[in-house]
C-alpha cells in the first residue's frame, strides 16, 4: 500500500529507520524531501506495523544495536536468538527493501542474516558523512527506482488547515481588492487554496500574487507566488513558489511552511504505522525477545 490518508494526499518515498543514529535538522530533512525521500524515525511501537506500510515506494533500515541493545553484554547465543527473531520478522513481508546495520559484527549473527537472505552491513553511522554516504550507496537502492519517476513535490493537508484564513493580492493589479480563501493543501513549492467569492475570476495562469496565511497561532506570507492551475468548478487555484529564494518568502516564513509539511508527513506516517491489534517485539529483562500486545 502507499501512504495516503486525510493528512497526506501525495506521498514521497518513505524510508522507515528503526534506531536512527543521528538527529537530523529540519533543513536536512527538507533537503531529503526535495530528493523525494521522507526519512521517518520509527519507534519500537511502530516496528511491527512496518508491513502495513510496505509497498513499492517504501524501504526499511534496522539498527541491530538499537533492536537488541543489552545483548552486547551477554552471550553470543542471545545475539543469535535476537538476529533470528529480527530476520524472521523482516521476511514476513519482504526482505528485498530492508537492510540491517550494526557497529559490531559477530560471525554467527552475520550467518543468521545471510541464511535468511537479509542484507546486513557493519558500519558506524553516528556521524553525518558516513550516514549520508550510507543513504546514497545502500538505502536509496532499496527502492524500486523504475516504479515511479523521482519527483520534487508532494501534497499534505495540515491538521490546522481549517484554522487558516488566506488573503490573496494580485500583484499585477494592485488596485484590486484583497481576495479571501481557505487553505486546501501544501507542497514543497506551492499550495492549493479554495477561493471565497468570484473576484478570482480576474486571475489568469502565471499571474503573480501575494499570499498571506493567518491563524490564531501564526502568520505566514508568500511575497510572490505564480498561479499554475485554476479550477473554476471547485473554486480552487494552485500557486507555485520557491522557498529557497528570499524574493518569494523570508527565511522565517519559509521555515514555518517547511515545518508544517514535515510535521504533517510525520503525523500521516505515524497514523499508518499505528498498531492494529498486532504485537510489538521487545526485550525481556533476561535479554530474550518477547512479544507484547500493541497499544
Q: 244 to each of 31, 42, 188, 189, 221, how far by Cα in Å?
A: 11, 29, 11, 9, 14
Q: Within a domain: residue 3? A: no
Answer whether residue 2 is part of any domain: no
Distances (CA, A) of 15 to 18, 213, 280, 293: 10, 31, 19, 25
- Residue 75 is predicted with a pLDDT of 74
Task: Name the helix (H) or strand (E) containing 115.
Answer: helix 107-115
Domain count, the chain: 2
Shared-domain flag, residues 66 and 173 = no
Instruction: Give the pLDDT confidence score for residue 284 in this predicted structure.
Output: 40
List Cβ neighbours of 244 (8 Å cut-off, separation of 6 or more): 254
Q: For residue 52, give its domain range.
A: 8-153+265-293
Write down the pTM of the prediction.
Answer: 0.85
Task: Tell whether 43 is covered by a domain.
Answer: yes
Dihedral sign, Cα of residue 59, residue 256, residue 252, residue 150: positive
Give the pLDDT score at 123: 94
In tens digits, what is the pLDDT along the chain, a chain of 295 residues?
Answer: 568 889 999 999 999 999 999 999 998 999 999 888 999 999 988 998 999 898 888 999 999 999 887 555 567 888 899 999 999 999 999 899 999 999 888 899 999 999 999 999 999 999 999 999 999 999 999 986 555 555 656 899 999 999 999 999 999 999 999 999 999 999 989 999 999 988 888 899 999 999 999 999 999 999 999 999 999 999 999 999 998 899 999 999 999 999 999 999 999 999 999 876 544 444 443 344 444 444 3
> What is the enclosing helix (H) or strand (E) of 167?
strand 165-170
Q: What is the pLDDT of residue 233?
A: 94
Whether 66 and 120 map to the same domain: the answer is: yes
77 within domain boundaries: yes
One domain, residues 275 and 213: no
Cα 65 to Cα 173: distance, rounded to the nearest angstrom: 61
**Phi and psi at residue 16, to the nearest 5°:** -85, 125
Torsion of CA 251, 254, 260, 263, to 10 degrees: -60
For residue 248, list its beta bridge partners.
none
CATH number reported for the structural domain that contains residue 171 in this entry? 2.40.10.220
Same domain, 119 and 148: yes
Amino acid at each position: 500500500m502507499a501512504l495516503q490518508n486525510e493528512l497526506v494526499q501525495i506521498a514521497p518515498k518513505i524510508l522507515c529507520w528503526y534506531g536512527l543514529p543521528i538527529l537530523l535538522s529540519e533543513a536536512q530533512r527538507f533537503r531529503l524531501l526535495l530528493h523525494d525521500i521522507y526519512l521517518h524515525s520509527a519507534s519500537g511501537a511502530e516496528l511491527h506495523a512496518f508491513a502495513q506500510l510496505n509497498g513499492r515506494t517504501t524501504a526499511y533500515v534496522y539498527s541491530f544495536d538499537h533492536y537488541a541493545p543489552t545483548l552486547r553484554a551477554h552471550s553470543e547465543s542471545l545475539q543469535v536468538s535476537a538476529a533470528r527473531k529480527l530476520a524472521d520478522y523482516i521476511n514476513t513481508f519482504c526482505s528485498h527493501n530492508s537492510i540491517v546495520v550494526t557497529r559490531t559484527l559477530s560471525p554467527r549473527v552475520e550467518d543468521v542474516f545471510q541464511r535468511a537472505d537479509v542484507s546486513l552491513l557493519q558500519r558506524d553511522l553516528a556521524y553525518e558523512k558516513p550516514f549520508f554516504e550510507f543513504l546514497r550507496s545502500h538505502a536509496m537502492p532499496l527502492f524500486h527506482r523504475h516504479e515511479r519517476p523521482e519527483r520534487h513535490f508532494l501534497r499534505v493537508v495540515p491538521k490546522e488547515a481549517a484554522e487558516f484564513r488566506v488573503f490573496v493580492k494580485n500583484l499585477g493589479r494592485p488596485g484590486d481588492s484583497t481576495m479571501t480563501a481557505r487553505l486546501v493543501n501544501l507542497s514543497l513549492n506551492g499550495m492549493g487554496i479554495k477561493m471565497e467569492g468570484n473576484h478570482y475570476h480576474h486571475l489568469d495562469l502565471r499571474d503573480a500574487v501575494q499570499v498571506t496565511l493567518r491563524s490564531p497561532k501564526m502568520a505566514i506570507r508568500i511575497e510572490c507566488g505564480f498561479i499554475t492551475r485554476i479550477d473554476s468548478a471547485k473554486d480552487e487555484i494552485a500557486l507555485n513558489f520557491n522557498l529557497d529564494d528570499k524574493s518569494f518568502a523570508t527565511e522565517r516564513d519559509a521555515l514555518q511552511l517547511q515545518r508544517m509539511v514535515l510535521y504533517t508527513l510525520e503525523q500521516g506516517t505515524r497514523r499508518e504505522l499505528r498498531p492494529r491489534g498486532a504485537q510489538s517485539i521487545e526485550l525481556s529483562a533476561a535479554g530474550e525477545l518477547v512479544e507484547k500486545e500493541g497499544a
